[in-house]
Structure formats: structure tokens, C-alpha cells
Structure 1
Amino acid sequence: MTPQESRCPADVREPLSVLLASDSFKGSASSREIEDLLEQGVRRVVSDCTVLKFPIADGGEGTVEAVISACGGEIREATVRGPLGDDVTAQYGLLPDGKTAVLEMAQSSGITLIDQNRDNALLASTFGVGQMVLDAIDAGARRIYIGLGGSATSDGGTGMAKALGVRFRNIDGNDISCGLGGLRNLATIDLSGLDPRVTATEFVALTDVTNPLVGTNGAVRVYGPQKGIIRDEIEALDEDMQHYANMLASDCGVDVGHLPGAGAAGGLGAALVAFCNARISSGIETVLDLIGLERVMDSVDLVITGEGRMDSQSANGKAPVGVAQRAKKYGKPVVAVVGGRADDLGEVYDMGIDLVLSSVPTAMSLDECLARTDINIPIAGETAMRAFLFGR
């Protein structure tokens, strides 16, 4: 008996095919790195199986890599303004057709680029996002997908719009200050300087949230505190955002205050709709369509997906559930490997995931978990494969 045969049930003889489609484990490893580690574990059990790897993302970190990896094209760089005005180098993808670009707003305006405190939260701007858009248009893009995850900003997308030529003026006719802090002084919105190429470009905003711009579930109330906004100021700042929404309605003829997804990325979703006529779309569904995940689904025996933490929110537009729903159309079993999990995952199981495996084999600190990623993930991949074979 060979070593391979000793690991596998005696009735397993035909080559197996496994699809790996995991999101990144934020702070630990990228989607591609996680899949490489899962493959190590899978091959400990069935060394000669076919392993297909599709890096995925839901509009946040890794979206550009996922799409370019699957579709081809090139990664381009642009020097743009960061959230507080300092220069940053932002990357985006240009697909082989030369007319389709994929951007992550976090590349220029992400929460990892600045400290989270009150002053930064009020000043942070999406101006760099607009610069990325213009760079992509200069490169020939006429369709632009923009991932809205991981933002440091709550400026309602006014910074992006400024970069595209829109003017936001106070009662004296001067430009309002950058960031959320300037919105309460907004008196008029002037679209006359908007780059005409914007209206000739198709925009799709990718998000995994459905929050509106204002109100109880709006951008400021839900996401403001994690960006540094003081809770005592939230009500007043939400009123400022409501004022901005009213101005969009009166000056631009677009009512986005309660539009699902308009509150994504601190209101960048609203600005993309108002100034770029964007369509707000599920990030994971759009990415899965772009990378063509379903073209291989019929040929695989097992699907392994994953994310850093799985909880009830994972059932609402997160990457693993998006993968699972595609897999279930073809009757494929789905295992999710996660870094952490909630006690109750009933909603996730209801959405098509068959088994959730924690990659943490024993009690350990967060630092220990991060340090052992290259050990823990292969173990979880091995366990997923053995569970699948046991079920057969």
C-alpha cells in the first residue's frame, strides 16, 4: 500500500477536483496566500487532486487582485492624495479590453492609511478616489468598477467629486473645507466643471453593505465611531449629512438619502450615484461574475471558501456565502475555513455553507494566531478534505 492510499478511503480512486475561493484574512494573509496554504492541506490528503484557485473579494481589499488574476490585464499605479492630503501610491487594474478598470477606494482613502481619531475623521477626504478615476479614464477606461470597502472617510464622496470638477460652495461662494466637517457649510453644488468624460463612462459601485446615507442605519451613525467620530457628535453630524442629501436633491435632482448602499464608504456610494450615475451592486456577486467562477463549478467535487471571521453578517453579501450560493446551483458541497466564528451560524448554514471549520486548533492569543497562519490554515485545509472524504 502506498502512502497515498494509506491516507484515503479504499474506494477513492478517481482523481478529485477541489475549488478554492477564499476571501482574505484581513491582517493575516491575502486571498491568494490563504488559498496557497489551503492547497498544502488538501494535498496532504490527496496529493494528485486537481486544485483550482480563484482569489475573491467583495469590493474591499483584494478586489483588484482577484479580478486581474482571473481575467488578465495589468496593474497600474497612480500617485494621488491620501485621506489627509499626503501623496500615496494607489494601484488599480485595467482589464485586457483596455476599456474596463477595477479600483479599490481604500487604495487612496483607506482606513489603514491614517489614525482613527476625531480630527482625522472630520477631515478625511475621498479626493484621491477621483484622481484614480481620472487616471483610469486617461488610460482608456470607459467602464469603471469601484470597490467601496475599507474607507477612512465620511465626506459623502465630496472629495471624489471635487477631483472630477464639481464645486461645493458655502454661502459666500467659497469652497467648503474637506471632509465631513465641511458639509454643514454647504450652500450650493456646481456641476458646471464636471469632467465631461465622466458622463460618458459607466460606473459600478461594489459594496457588501446596504446602509443608506442618513438615519439610524446611515453612514455616520453606523460606521462613524470606528473611524474616530465621537459618539456625542454623531447626531449633529448625521444632520449635516442629511443637509448634504437635501442639497443633492435640490441642486442635482438626485434623491439618495435613503438609497440602499448610498452610505457605503462614508457616503461615497451616494456621490457615485449622484455625480457619476453609478449603479450600486453587490460586490461579491459582481466579482464572481467578472472572474467567471461558474465556468468551472460543474467540474469540481468540493468547494472550500473562507474569511477571517464568520458571523451573522456573513449571510448578508459576504464572499463565502456568495461562493456557496453559486456552488449550490451545481449541487456542490461547501466548506468554509475561518479565522474566528460566532457561536450561532444558523443563517450562514441556511445560505448554503455545509461546514464551518475554525483554523485555530487550540486556545491561543490573536498574536499567536497571526504568527501561526502558515501552520493553522494547512491544518484546516487538511481537515476540510478529510471531512469531505469521510462524508463520501
Structure 2
Amino acid sequence: MKILIAPDSYKDALPAREAAAAIAAGLRRVRPEAELVECPMGDGGEGTLDALIAATGAERRHARVQDALGRPATAAWGWHAASRSAYVELAEASGLQALSREERTARDSTTHGVGELVRAALDAGARRLILTLGGSATNDAGAGMLAALGARLLDAEERPLPPGGAALGELARLDLSGLDPRLAELTVEAAVDVDNPLTGPRGASAVFGPQKGASAADVSHLDAALDHFADHLARALGRDERDRPGAGAAGGMGFAAASVLGAALRPGIELVMEQAGFAQRLAGADLVITGEGQLDGQSLAGKTPIGIARRAREHGVPTVVLAGRLGDGWQAAHDEGVLAALALADGPMTLDEALSRCAELLADRAEAVLRLFGACRG
């Protein structure tokens, strides 16, 4: 029997690599002779860099950058020398998880550190960049990244704008002439896990701003500021990407990546599966086990378990999802190739207890899945 183990990370509990190992440990209790293929995955959010490095054998490098609040920080990125490919995870430099709830400020947070990681990749000689967008603390439409790469954003007095999306409402002149010329030779693919536009009722500010500390008034201000920035960028480039699906990813970073870096915006799980050689790993499998922190109706927009299940279904392989929690609308996953979905908790418990026991609970659920699967197969 061959089982492909392809989970995403379990937020605040386990990275994808450790989750895969825990699932494998549970499966071995039942079938120690089974061929277990561990394939950690990600869809663009936190942990996707780890999945890409594990899948490709890329070198993990580090760079000194600014975090989302402009403080000195160290961020990891991946370098695959043979293909001159760099892997940059936005959340490493500008991630929400690095900030306390009190520190979250959608108005003032910046993607400057992401630009510094891109610059480090260019310094290494990168010709291809995989940029994963998810888990951001920012809502600046990538303006901070562009500033780090040489763009100038000036107010009416020709002064540089302060960092953050709110300041973009004061933008009077956008000068892209100083952008790093090496960007012209860089092929960029951006991994996104949402299809939202930059602005409007489904835009970055309205949908994702509140979880980053934005009040209702902030949302209105930020949405107008990002629209203003998009007007300037459209005039400078002769095209307008604000309504492209995925432009609103990571506080509008999808917009900057598509507009200025010429990035192809792709569903993150598809991009990671491609890099991981998922089709080859799936060949001959009898069962796929995947999962992440929560499975719900929103997962159908491109989250890891659904992307995995859809691909496995194409090859006639059943998929089981082990989720930290089953949220509203999770049953729709059955229509996407999910044979069954199980929540991890084995009884009443606090969130802290569930997080601390995540590896144990994954192993136990995986064991139960394989016992039942084996019984059904006779």
C-alpha cells in the first residue's frame, strides 16, 4: 500500500513537515510495511517556504530586513542554485504572526522587508522568483516593497511618504525610474490563495483589513488610499491591474507583483504542487491524507486540502482531510474529491490544549483512518 501524506501547516501548532511526520507515525502503527510518501505542502501562506525548500532541496538563506513595523529582523528565503530560482515568502518579512494583537496596524505596516528579500535574491543572481503571498500584516498594496527596490513615492512637498497603506492617500508623484534594473530579467510567479481584487467591497482593505487591526473608518480610508495609488500606477505603466483576481492578496501585494514585477498570479497550492513534483509522488498511491488548521466553505477558494483533493480525484485516488476544526460549509469539500474529513479533537478541550497536542491527535486520527480504510477494502 502506498499513502501520500501532504498536509499544510497547522497554524500556531505544527509546520507542515512536522505534521506529515506525525501522520506517518500514526499510519505505521497499523501498516508498518506501507510505503509512506511525506510531501509537506502550502498554498502561499506561512510555511510555504518550508514546503518549497523540502520539495526542491533549495538552500535556506537569511537576510536582515525590516519587519512589518520597520524594526530590524532576520528573514529566511530559499535559493536553488541549479535553476537560479529564489523562493520568497512574504510572511517571513511582513507576517501577521510576528506581531502581537496590540501591534497590528493595517494603516502603517509595510512590505519593505519583502523588497529587501527580493533584492537579496537578485544579488544572488536569481532569474526566477517564486513569491508566496499570504499571512501578511500589511495593507500597503506592495508600496513598501517597491520603495525597497528603488521606487520613489512622494507627497506634494516632494517628501518621501511614510510607510503604510494609509499614507498612500497623500501620494502626489510616483517615480519608478530608480527601480532595480535587474527586475527586467526576472521571471516572477506569485502564489496566492484568494481571488479578491485590490479595492471595493471584496478588496484587500474591506475583507482582510479588520484582522490586521483596521477599524471601520480605517477600512474606508485604506480602500480610498489604495485606489489612489492604483490610479498613479496605472498612469505610470499604461495598464491597470487592480481588478485582477488575486490583486488583493496579502494586503494588495498581488497588485504590485502583477503590475510592476510582471508576476503571473497563480493559486498557491497549484504552484507548490508543481514545484514538489506532486503528480510523480501521487503515481500509484492508494490514499492521500492532507489537512490544515481549519476546513470550511472558504477552503474551496484555493486552500491546500481542496487543491490536493481535486488533483488526487483526477487520478482516481481518494483523499481524507484531517482538520484542526471543521467550520461552516465544510461539507462542500465532498464535491471536490474529499472522501472524508475528520476534526482532530477527541473530546472537549481548550484551544491551547488542542494546539499543544496537535502531533498526538494527528497520529491518532491517521491511525483511525487507516484502520477504517483497510476494513472497507477488505
Does TM, normalized by the shorter one, top 0.5? Answer: yes
Distance in 2 (CA, whole Å) between partners of 1:197 and 1:66 is 27
Answer whether contact 2:135 2:250 (CA < 8 A) is retained: yes
- The residue aligned with 1:193 is 178
Q: Which amino acid aligns with 1:294?
A: A
The share of aligned pairs that are identical, in percent, is 40
Are 2:275 and 1:311 aligned? no
Return the match for 2:195 from 210, 213, 217: 210
Q: Between Structure 1 and Structure 2, how many residues are aligned? A: 377
Q: TM-score, normalised by structure 2?
A: 0.97
1:138-194 residue CA offsets vs partner (Å, 9 max, x unmatched):
111110011111000111110000011011111122211110121110011111101
Paired residue secondary structure (1:162): helix
Return the match for 1:322 from 284, 304, 307: 307
Are 2:121 and 1:136 aligned? yes
1:243-283 residue CA offsets vs partner (Å, 9 max, x unmatched):
11111112222312211111111111111112111111110
Aligned-pair distance for 1:116? 4.0
Are 2:334 and 1:341 aligned? no
Return the match for 2:361 from 359, 369, 376: 376
Answer whether contact 2:152 2:174 (CA < 8 A) is retained: yes
Answer whether contact 1:40 1:378 (CA < 8 A) is retained: yes
Aligned-pair distance for 1:98? 4.6
1:187-218 residue CA offsets vs partner (Å, 9 max, x unmatched):
11111101100111011111100111100000
Which segments of 5 or more consecutive residues in structure 2 lack a partner in the other structure?
Answer: none
Distance in 1 (CA, whole Å) between partners of 2:242 and 2:314 is 36
Answer whether contact 1:120 1:228 (CA < 8 A) is retained: yes
* Matching of residues 294-309 of structure 1 within 5 Å: 294-309=279-294
- The residue aligned with 1:121 is 106
Which segments of 5 or more consecutive residues in structure 1 lack a partner in the other structure?
Answer: 1-15
Aligned-pair distance for 1:39? 0.9
Return the match for 1:366 from 351, 364, 376: 351
Q: TM-score, normalised by structure 1?
A: 0.93
Return the match for 1:81 from 51, 61, 66: 66
Are 2:242 and 1:257 aligned? yes
Answer whether contact 2:65 2:74 (CA < 8 A) is retained: yes
1:35-64 residue CA offsets vs partner (Å, 9 max, x unmatched):
111111111111111110000000111212
Q: Which amino acid aligns with 1:182?
A: A
Answer whether contact 1:118 1:230 (CA < 8 A) is retained: no
Q: Which moved more, 1:292-301 or 1:112-121?
A: 112-121
The RMSD of aligned alpha carbons is 1.3
Return the match for 1:49 from 34, 37, 45: 34
Q: Which amino acid aligns with 2:51?
A: A
Aligned-pair distance for 1:328? 1.1
Distance in 1 (CA, whole Å) between partners of 2:159 and 2:278 is 50
- The residue aligned with 1:390 is 375
Q: Which moved more, 1:232-241 or 1:48-57?
A: 232-241
- The residue aligned with 1:10 is none
Return the match for 2:340 from 347, 355, 369: 355
* Matching of residues 123-202 of structure 1 within 5 Å: 123-202=108-187
The structure having more radius of gyration, on CA atoms, is 1
Q: Which amino acid aligns with 1:323?
A: I
Are 2:76 and 1:91 aligned? yes
Q: Sort the Cα spacing of 1:118 and 1:47 in 2 relative to 1 into closer, same or farther, 3 A.
A: closer
Paired residue secondary structure (1:69): helix
Distance in 2 (CA, whole Å) between partners of 1:44 and 1:178 is 53
Aligned-pair distance for 1:375? 2.0
Q: Which moved more, 1:168-177 or 1:143-152?
A: 168-177
Distance in 1 (CA, whole Å) between partners of 2:359 and 2:275 is 29
Distance in 2 (CA, whole Å) between partners of 1:177 and 1:344 is 41
Answer whether contact 2:248 2:255 (CA < 8 A) is retained: yes
Q: Which moved more, 1:150-159 or 1:231-240?
A: 231-240
Answer whether contact 1:117 1:227 (CA < 8 A) is retained: no
- The residue aligned with 2:233 is 248
- The residue aligned with 2:93 is 108
Q: Which amino acid aligns with 2:321?
A: A
Distance in 2 (CA, whole Å) between partners of 1:299 and 1:118 is 48
- The residue aligned with 2:207 is 222
Aligned-pair distance for 1:371? 2.1
Paired residue secondary structure (1:154): coil
Paired residue secondary structure (1:364): coil
